[in-house]
Amino acid sequence: MSPEQRLLIEHECGKLPLLFAKYADDGDHAALADLFMANGTYDRPFQPGFPFHGRAAIQSIFRDRPPILVRHLVTNVLVAVVSETRARGSNYVVMMSNHAQVDPPQSSNGIFVGGFDDEYVLDGGKWRFASRKGHLALHEGGTIPNFPTPTDEARGLK
Amino acid sequence: MSPEQRLLIEHECGKLPLLFAKYADDGDHAALADLFMANGTYDRPFQPGFPFHGRAAIQSIFRDRPPILVRHLVTNVLVAVVSETRARGSNYVVMMSNHAQVDPPQSSNGIFVGGFDDEYVLDGGKWRFASRKGHLALHEGGTIPNFPTPTDEARGLK
Amino acid sequence: MSPEQRLLIEHECGKLPLLFAKYADDGDHAALADLFMANGTYDRPFQPGFPFHGRAAIQSIFRDRPPILVRHLVTNVLVAVVSETRARGSNYVVMMSNHAQVDPPQSSNGIFVGGFDDEYVLDGGKWRFASRKGHLALHEGGTIPNFPTPTDEARGLK
C-alpha cells in the first residue's frame, strides 16, 4: 500500500468519530446509525460491557431518549490501517451536557473524559464502524449517570 | 475531483480554525485578520447575531481589547468540499481564560464550549474564511460574559 | 516539494503528539521514549526550563513514577514543514488525572491546559521528536503540582 493510499484511509476512518459526535449532538440518530455496519456494535462509555448490536438497536439509544443539550469533543484520533478494507483506531471523547435545559447556552453537569477503541471496515465503498468499544476514565465535577442494565431486546440480541 | 485533491482541500481548510485559535491566543491580530477574505464576516460565539464585516473590523476586536491569557482548544474539525474553490466546515472550541492575570499559569474563569460553522474560499491561491458563525453551547463554572451590543461602525457596516 | 509530499509529512509529524499522549496514558514508557531521537530533549509542561536529554532520561520520568490515572487530550496540532527531513509544530494538551486512585472512572484533580512547541526530524525513515518544549497556561480547579528540581543526572546531563 502506498503512503498516499494509507493516508486516505486514515483520513476517511478518522472522520467517523467526529461524524458520530456531530450526529449525536445534533440529534440526527438516523445518520449516526448509518455510520455503523448493518451488524455493527456499540458499547457505551458510561456502561461498558453491554454492547448494542445492529443499526436499529444503536439508533434507538439516541432516538428514544429525551432531548438533551450535549457536546462530544473528540480528540486524539489515531487510525492504524490493517488492510485496504480494515482499520483500527482509538480516540478520546470529552462529554459535557445538560439534561434539564436544552436551549444553549447552559451550565454543564460536569466534564467527563473517556474514549473509544474502534474497528473500521470498508463497506460498499464507504468506511463504517464495525465496532465501538467505549470507556470512561475521569470526570471533573458532575455525577456519573447510573443507567439501568439494558434488556437483551434493547441491545438487539433478540 | 480526485480523492487526493479533496483531501488536500480538507486539510488546508481544516488548518484555518487552528490558525485562528493560535493567532487569537498569541495576540497576533494582523495574522488572524489575514485568515479572512477581504469581505469576510465573523460572528462571535459569545454574541451571535452581530457579525463583524471585513478584515479591519475583525482585527479591531482582537487588537483593541485589553491583553488576556486565553486558550482556544479546537476539536471536531470537519470540512466538506463544495468545489475546487469552496468548502464548508464545522468545529468545536473550548475557551479558557483569565482576564485579570496574563502571566501563565493562572486559574481559568470556567470552561466554555461552543463552536463555529465556517465557509472557506480559495482566494488568490490561499484558502481563507469567507465567514465564521459562532455559537456557545455549555460551560462548566465561570460566568458568561455580557458584551455590550457593538455599534454598526465597530461591525464594519458604516 | 509537492503539496502531497508536504501533506504526508504534516500527517506523520502530527501523529507524534497523539502517540506521545497514548503511550503516556497507557504507561508504555518504552514506546514513548522511542518517539524521540536518541539525543532528543523533553521539557515538561509543569516544570519548563529543565529539559531532559536523551531517551533514557525521558523514559525514566514515566517509568519511575507511581502509577497514575491520566488523560492527555491533544488538540490544535499544527505542523510546519521546514524541509524533507525537518518540521516544526505546536499543539495544546489538556491534562486530567487522579494520582490516588488508578481504577477508572475517577474524579480528576482539576483540568490543566498547556502545550508544546515541537521539533521533528526524519530519523532513519521514521519521524521523531528532536525536542518538545512544554508550557502550562491555565487550569480549572486542581492544584498545580510542585515538582522538586530534577538533578542533572536525572536530566541526562551527566
pLDDT, tens digit, 9 for 90 and up, residues A60-96: 999 999 999 999 999 999 999 999 999 999 999 999 9
The x, y and z cell numbers of residue A4, run together, are 498516499
ipTM: 0.97
| Confidence label for B60 from pLDDT (cuts 50, 70 and 90) | very high
Question: Could you give the percent of chain C with pLDDT greater than 90?
Answer: 97
Chain A residues lying within 8 Å of C4, measured CB to CB: 4
Nearest residue on chain C to B10, judged by CA atoms?
Answer: C7
Q: Are A23 and A29 in contact (CB under 8 A)?
A: yes
Dihedral sign from CA coordinates of B74, C43, B67, B128:
negative
B112 near B135, Cβ under 8 Å? Answer: no
Low-confidence ranges of chain C (pLDDT < 50): none
Cis peptide upstream of residue C45 (ω within 30 degrees of 0)? no
- Rounded distance between C-alpha atoms, residue B58 and residue B52, angstroms: 6
Among C8, C16, C18, the strongest candidate for a mutation testing the A interface, having the largest count of A CBs within 10 A, is C18
Amino acid identity for residue B30 in this structure: A
Q: Do C140 and B73 touch (CB under 8 A)?
A: no
Query: In this structure, what are the phi and psi dihedrals at residue B124, rounded to the nearest 5 degrees?
Result: 65, 40
DSSP-based three-state secondary structure for C86? strand
DSSP state of A104: S
Task: Tell me whether residues A97 and B138 touch, CB distance under 8 A.
Answer: yes
In contact, A35 and A12? CB cutoff 8 Å: no
Q: Which helix (H) or strand (E) holds C14?
A: helix C3-26
pLDDT value at position A56? Answer: 98
Cell representation of residue B19: 490558525
Q: What angle do CA C122, A85, A127 make, to 5 degrees?
A: 95
**Rounded distance between C-alpha atoms, residue A23 and residue A33, angstroms:** 9
Q: Name beta bridge partners: B97.
A: B70
In tens, the pLDDT along A93-149 reads: 999 999 999 999 999 999 999 999 999 999 999 999 999 999 999 999 999 988 899
Q: Give the C-alpha distances (Å, rounded to integers) separating C73 from B77, C112, C117.
A: 15, 10, 16
Domains delineated in chain C: 3-140 (3.10.450.50)
| pLDDT for the residue numbered A24 | 98
- Report pLDDT digits (tens) over A29-55: 999 999 999 999 999 999 999 999 999
Neighbours of chain C (3+ CB pairs under 8 A): A, B
- Reduced to 3 states (helix: H, G, I; strand: E, B; else coil), residue A24 is helix
Compute the C-alpha angle A142/A49/A61, nearest 5°. Answer: 65
Mode of pairing for the β-strands spanning C126-140 and B106-107: parallel
Task: Name every residue in C having a CB less than 8 A away from some CB of B.
Answer: 3-4, 7, 10, 75-78, 90, 92, 94, 111-115, 135-141, 144
Q: Which of C8, C75, C105 sits opposite A75 (nearest CB)?
A: C75
Residues 6 or more apart whose Cβ sits within 8 Å of residue B128: B16, B35, B36, B37, B40, B120, B121
CA atoms within 13 A on the CB side of B153: 0
User: Distance of CA A27 to CAs A59, B98, B108, Å?
Assistant: 10, 33, 31
Asked if the Cβ–Cβ distance from B110 to C140 is below 8 Å, we say yes
CB atoms within 10 A of CB A79: 25
Which residues on chain C place their C-beta less than 8 Å from a C-beta of chain A? Answer: 4, 7-8, 11, 15, 18-19, 21-22, 69, 71-75, 94, 96-98, 104-108, 110-111, 140-141
- Minimal C-alpha gap between C105 and chain A (Å): 4
For residue A44, the distance in angstroms to the closest alpha carbon of chain C comes to 14
For C19-60, write each residue's pLDDT tens digit: 999 999 999 999 999 999 999 999 999 999 999 999 999 999
Query: pTM of the predicted model, to two decimals?
Result: 0.98
Query: Residue B158: its pLDDT value, please?
Result: 82
C-alpha distance from residue C25 to each of A81, A137, C50, C105 (Å): 22, 11, 22, 14
Dist. CA C110–CA A113, nearest whole Å: 12
Q: Which of these, C97, C75, C56, lies nearest to A77 by C-alpha position?
A: C75
* Distance separating alpha carbons of residues B30 and B131, to the nearest angstrom: 17
Confidence of residue B45 (pLDDT cuts 50, 70, 90): very high
User: Is B15 a residue whose pLDDT tops 90?
Assistant: yes
